[in-house]
Amino acid sequence: MNRTPRHGQPPKGEGPSAEGNAQLDNLTLARKEGWRRFVEASTRRQPKQLTTKDLRRLGDDALVDYNKQRRIWHANLGPIKTPQLAELHEDLWDIVDSNVQDGDKAKGAIAIDAFPGLGKTTSVLSFAKQFHLREVAEEGEFTEQGHERWPVCRVGLTGNTGMKDFNRAMLEYFAHPGISSGTTAQFAHRALDCMLSCAVKVLIVDDLHFLRWRAKSGVEISNHFKYIANEFPVTLVFIGVGLAERGLFSEGDSYTNAVLAQTGRRTTPLDMRPFTIDTDKGRHEWRQMLLAIEQRLVLAEKHPGMLADDLSDYLFARSTGHIGSLMTLINRGCQRAVRTRAEHLSQDLLDSVKNDAAAETARRELEAAMDARRITSRVTRTRRKAG
């Protein structure tokens, strides 16, 4: 196999070519060039914290530039190293690093199965970035045969993904020229050749819930996953919602269930829990996360405890403990605070900010319970000093 093509980074101010497939999209993680940019991107620098007086001293152009910096910064606050993320990373390292068996042993797969908005994909990508950097640091950018080393391959499924579509998606990741024609088997051989040649060790399959496991295509792709796990040195990482209910770990006597049951035997399920406030530990974790987010906000009128003290119950009710909903609300709130020159977050301001439908639907019951003082996200004074 020839060395996979390398594309240089565009000069500042220039985006990817508009000439269709003449140049790969360098932003999406569905292609290796986008993955490289994601992995090698330098840590984003937090804009300088200015006071209200400082803002008044800025000239018009300087203020526009500063607000642009803050706009981009607040839209990219994560990932936050929550206890959930740390726990998931520990499990991922255990499983991936233990999958260095010789070729005659099948590799164990991973299925991350949790509700939407809990940071599954974000957490896995954060782990995969660290894994990629470690592998390249230890083994070099090129394999012994001179191919580019790509320790990670990520494929996203759609609502109608079949085995041929899945194989084509892997080929597209590697910018393989043979994606326009071929049979399912030919696509599979080309894709697996890419993975071997480029020393892929982790294959991430995102949005697996789009696949109908009890349908014919589900059995075919399940067999294909087993083939990859058996024959190639990769750890499969599935990400999805309700995978157990959809039959990923099914047991049964029928051919379909028997095939999927074998997948279940080789797959370790992991999850990501939402934040809860029914225990001291849960309330402490919630507070620590709010404090971490608070430190990252760049608002002239922010103050210690703006989130963790003043808005703790409110933010939990608006997000129902789902970090995705929380980060969306805070991001949008910061954008409005800068644009309206409020320069801080308050309940009045956030009341005017819309959030996702699931969070908005669930908030009423939580708000009623908090208003009645049946539940609270606040830690006791003693715990607060300790935290």
Asked whether the beta carbons of 31 and 175 are under 8 A apart, the reply is yes
Q: CA-CA distances (angstroms) from residue 286 to 277, 295, 319?
A: 8, 15, 12
Cis peptide leading into residue 79 (ω within 30°): yes
- pLDDT, residue 375, reads 82
In tens, the pLDDT along 58-90 reads 999 999 999 999 999 999 998 899 999 999 999
- pLDDT, residue 216, reads 61
- pLDDT, residue 164, reads 84
- pLDDT, residue 264, reads 60
CATH superfamily of 83-270: P-loop containing nucleotide triphosphate hydrolases (3.40.50.300)
- pLDDT, residue 215, reads 58
Q: Is 132 exposed, middle or buried (0-12, 13-18, 19+ CB in 10 A)?
A: buried
What are the tokens at 108? 């164990």
What are the tokens at 218? 């589900």
Residues with Cβ within 8 Å of residue 319, at least 6 apart in sequence: 325, 326, 329, 355, 359
Q: CA-CA distances (angstroms) from residue 36 to 31, 124, 313, 378?
A: 9, 16, 40, 42
DSSP annotation of 51 reads -
**CA quadruple 372, 378, 383, 386: dihedral, nearest 10:** -170
Q: What is the pLDDT along the chain (387 residues), one digit of tens a residue?
A: 444 444 333 333 333 333 333 344 445 888 999 999 999 988 889 999 999 999 999 999 999 999 999 999 999 998 899 999 999 999 999 999 998 876 666 788 899 988 888 889 999 999 999 999 999 999 999 999 999 999 999 998 877 777 888 889 999 999 899 988 898 889 988 998 999 999 999 999 998 877 765 556 566 767 777 777 777 788 999 998 887 776 665 544 444 455 555 566 778 999 998 999 989 999 999 999 999 999 999 999 999 999 999 999 999 999 999 999 999 999 999 999 999 999 999 999 999 999 988 888 877 777 777 777 778 888 865 444 444
Q: Where are the beta strands (DSSP E) in 293-365?
A: none
User: Could you tell me the pTM of the whole model?
Assistant: 0.83
Q: Which three-class secondary structure state does DSSP give residue 346?
A: coil
- Distance, in Å, from the CA atom of 242 to the CA atom of 153, rounded to the nearest integer, reads 23
Give the residue among 343, 338, 359 at the shortest CA–CA distance from 69: 338
Give strand pairing partners of 240. Answer: 113
- Domain residue ranges of the chain, discontinuous segments joined by +: 24-80+276-386, 83-270
